[in-house]
Amino acid sequence: MRSFLASLLVVASLTGCSSDPSSSSSSSGAQSSGTPTTSSGGTAAPKVTREMVRPAIEGTWTGTLVKDGVSTPATLVVKVRDTLATQCGGGTLSDDGALQILCIPTASLGIEAELSIGEERRPLLGALEVPQQHFTGWGIVSLSSPQASISGTLDPRTEAGAHQGSIHASVGFAGDSYDATFTNAR
């Protein structure tokens, strides 16, 4: 049984799904339209829009970088660069008992940012990836430049009635690596 499940996972990871309409996304040779589908075979219209995602990521984030127990204050100013694109991002096995690979809708929003630590500032380009059909405030943040990088997650949180998002990330800056948390009260 364990080897059967391992084989299924290997097949799932090798076949994936594709946004290319001419590529096959199942081991049976069926053609994929690149359109996200539900487990019942119907089309799953993405429920993530630029208008939903923009307020969750855009703005001034204040945070702390930590290395070897030493904390350093930092600021991250994020702006949306372009439109939201939805693609088929990976696959999962169907939950209705049928053995098929399904597309996971993934929305990607281009972003730019400026990371400031003390008097040093670094421009960054990247994206916020939302690998889900409904935007809940969670996403994957990836920003980089030759001088700095940020890789982490955007997490929603509500405390005392006020919404406060946070970015938990690994930050590379001036040759050093840090653990970081940024918050953006709205």
- Predicted confidence (pLDDT) per residue in 61-111, tens digit: 999 999 999 999 999 999 998 777 877 765 555 566 666 666 777 888 999
CA distance 60 to 44: 34
Number of Cβ atoms within 10 Å of the Cβ of 65: 21
Residues counted in the chain: 186
pTM of the shown model = 0.67
For 145-165, what is each residue's pLDDT tens digit?
999 999 999 988 655 555 568
